[in-house]
């Protein structure tokens, strides 16, 4: 019995030592960072800013691999099915991580089981913008108009089940109205139709809305996130503007395949946190309407579960179907 215990203890020690050795030697070749969307968007900008800093910090090239498709699920699935050896990461976003599990009847991966959270990375600022013909200069005035005309208003989104769609449904639920959702194939077409007056409002990403705001073609009422945007400090949050508890954070985060060594996750987290705190990275993202935001793996995991539950309720209550 004693010999068996000694052998078991020896095996445990060997596993721990081997895992530590792997982490110490990591990385010894290039690392792939999958960006599950096309080049040029917020996820791509964030991925490239991170990759540039991590390349220096890790001493190995971190290569951004754009794998767009299926609303981000294609790239996330690729990462989830990659070897958990520390050489593949993915910048997951709110849609394929926290929204789609409740929106779709079947997914090729389980975000909570097949991925290991490393750190939250950023929040793409969402802003509520209205057409100038709508006589609302504040969120309170918009709420009053919506209540007076509970089925008359139309809102655009970048697609069914997207964060800006669910923002509109959250507004419907909180104000107890029924605005009509008009989905588009992307945020840019939705913004074009808002500018044209074909819809009355959009919960747009700031990067998509900035040109129309600066040109006076749409009117911003509030940011939809948890805090004000440094680039527009006078614009209140939805909560500050009167709709208490309204919060839509269009977030991005770094993930590894489940089973990746904890020591590798810990180092990747530490270097990611440093990268996101760098002034040049923060400015690069800020200029694109994105706020650099980091966390521990544990805090990020807790946040993901809360977001999954929150949007699951919105989807169920609004009876939204993604397939």
Task: Find the CATH number of the domain harbouring 219.
Answer: 3.40.190.10
Helix H or strand E encompassing 167: helix 163-175
Name, in order, each residue with C-beta under 8 angstroms of 262's C-beta and a sequence gap of 6 or more. Answer: 19
Stronger pLDDT, 14 or 198, i.e. the higher one: 198
Q: Using the structure block, give the residue that is written with the tokens 């520390």.
A: 86
Asked whether 118 and 105 are in contact (CB, 8 A), the reply is: no
Under a CB-based contact definition with an 8 Å cutoff, are residues 88 and 306 in contact?
A: no
Structural domain includes residue 201: yes
Q: Which residue has the higher pLDDT, 64 or 160?
A: 64
- Shared domain check, 253 and 118: yes
Say if 240 falls within a structural domain. Answer: no
Residue 259 belongs to some domain of the structure: yes
Residue 88, strand partner residues = 32
- Same domain for 84 and 218, yes or no, is no
Work out the average pLDDT over 46-54.
Answer: 98
Statement to judge: residues 94 and 133 lie in one domain: no
pLDDT surpasses 80 at 110: yes
**257 & 115 share domain:** yes
Rounded Cα gap, residues 132 and 241, in angstroms: 19
Number of domains in the chain: 2
Q: Which residues contact 193 (CB under 8 A, 6 or more apart)?
A: 156, 182, 184, 199
Stretch 152-168: mean pLDDT, rounded? 93
Rounded Cα distance, 197 and 308, in Å:
33
- pLDDT of 38: 87
Could you tell me the two tokens for 108? 């090729």
- Average pLDDT over every residue of 135-141: 97
Domain assignment of residue 78, yes or no: yes
Query: Within 10 A of 243 (CB to CB), how many other CB atoms are there?
Result: 21
Among 189, 223, 257, the domain-final residue is 223
For 110-146, give the DSSP string.
-HHHHEEEEEEEEEEPEEEEE-TTS--SSHHHHHHHH
- pLDDT exceeds 50 at position 15: no
Q: Is the pLDDT of residue 48 over 70?
A: yes
Q: Do 113 and 138 reside in the same domain of the chain?
A: no
Q: Are residues 150 and 63 in the same domain?
A: no
Helix axes 297-318, 163-175, angle to 10 degrees: 60
Q: Are 248 and 174 in contact (CB under 8 A)?
A: no
Give the containing element (helix H, strand E) for 189. Answer: helix 187-196
What is the residue range of 57's domain?
28-123+249-318
Lookup result for tokens 């923060």: 282
Q: What CATH number has the domain bearing residue 277?
A: 3.40.190.150
C-alpha distances (whole Å) from 17 to each of 85, 179, 257, 270 are: 16, 59, 22, 21
Q: Is the confidence at residue 19, as pLDDT, over 60?
A: no
What's the rounded Cα separation, in Å, for the pair 256 and 96? 15
Is the model's pTM score more than 0.85? yes
Residue 301 backbone zone (phi > 0: left; psi -120 to 50: alpha; other: beta): alpha
pLDDT of residue 17: 47
If asked whether residues 68 and 119 sit together in one domain, one would say yes
Looking at the DSSP bridge assignments, the partners of residue 219 are 130
What average pLDDT score do residues 201-215 get? 94
Cβ–Cβ < 8 Å for 88, 255: no
Q: With b meaning 16 or more CB within 10 Å and e meaning fewer, what string describes 81-90?
A: ebebebbbbb
pLDDT at res. 21: 55
Mean pLDDT of all residues belonging to the chain = 92
Residue 287 is predicted with a pLDDT of 92
In the prediction, which pLDDT does 174 show? 96
Question: Does position 267 have pLDDT exceeding 80, yes or no?
Answer: yes
Per the domain annotation, does 307 fall within a domain?
yes
The pLDDT of residue 54: 98
Q: Does pLDDT of 68 surpass 60?
A: yes
Last residue of a domain, one of 164, 189, 223: 223
CA distance 182 to 158: 9
């Amino acid at each position: 019995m004693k010999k068996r215990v000694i052998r078991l203890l020896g095996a445990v020690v060997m596993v721990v030592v081997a895992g530590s050795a792997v982490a110490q030697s990591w990385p010894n070749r290039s690392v792939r960072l999958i960006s599950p969307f096309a080049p040029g968007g917020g996820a791509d900008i964030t991925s490239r800013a991170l990759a540039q800093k991590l390349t220096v910090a890790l001493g190995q090239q971190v290569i951004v691999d754009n794998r767009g498709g299926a609303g981000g699920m294609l790239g996330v699935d690729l990462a989830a099915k990659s070897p958990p050896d520390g050489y593949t990461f993915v910048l997951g976003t709110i849609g394929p991580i926290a929204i789609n599990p409740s929106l779709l009847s079947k997914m090729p991966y389980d975000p909570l089981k097949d991925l290991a959270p490393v750190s939250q990375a950023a929040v793409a600022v969402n802003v509520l913008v209205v057409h100038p013909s709508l006589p609302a200069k504040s969120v309170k005035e918009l709420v009053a108009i919506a209540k007076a005309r509970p089925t008359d208003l139309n809102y655009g989104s970048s697609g069914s089940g997207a964060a800006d769609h669910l923002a509109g449904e959250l507004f419907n639920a909180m104000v107890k109205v029924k605005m009509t959702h008009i989905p588009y194939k992307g945020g840019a077409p939705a913004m074009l139709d808002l500018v044209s007056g074909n819809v009355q409002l959009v919960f747009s990403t700031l990067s998509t809305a900035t040109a129309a705001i600066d040109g006076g073609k749409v009117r911003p009422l509030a940011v939809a996130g948890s805090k004000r945007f440094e680039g527009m400090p006078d614009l209140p949050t939805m909560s500050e503007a009167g709709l208490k508890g309204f919060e839509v954070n269009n977030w991005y985060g770094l993930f590894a395949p489940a089973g990746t060594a904890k020591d590798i996750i810990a180092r990747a987290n530490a270097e990611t946190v440093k990268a996101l705190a760098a002034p040049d990275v923060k400015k690069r993202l800020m200029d694109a309407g994105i706020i650099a935001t980091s966390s521990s793996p544990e805090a990020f995991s807790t946040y993901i579960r809360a977001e999954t539950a929150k949007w699951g309720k919105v989807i169920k209550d609004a009876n939204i179907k993604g397939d």
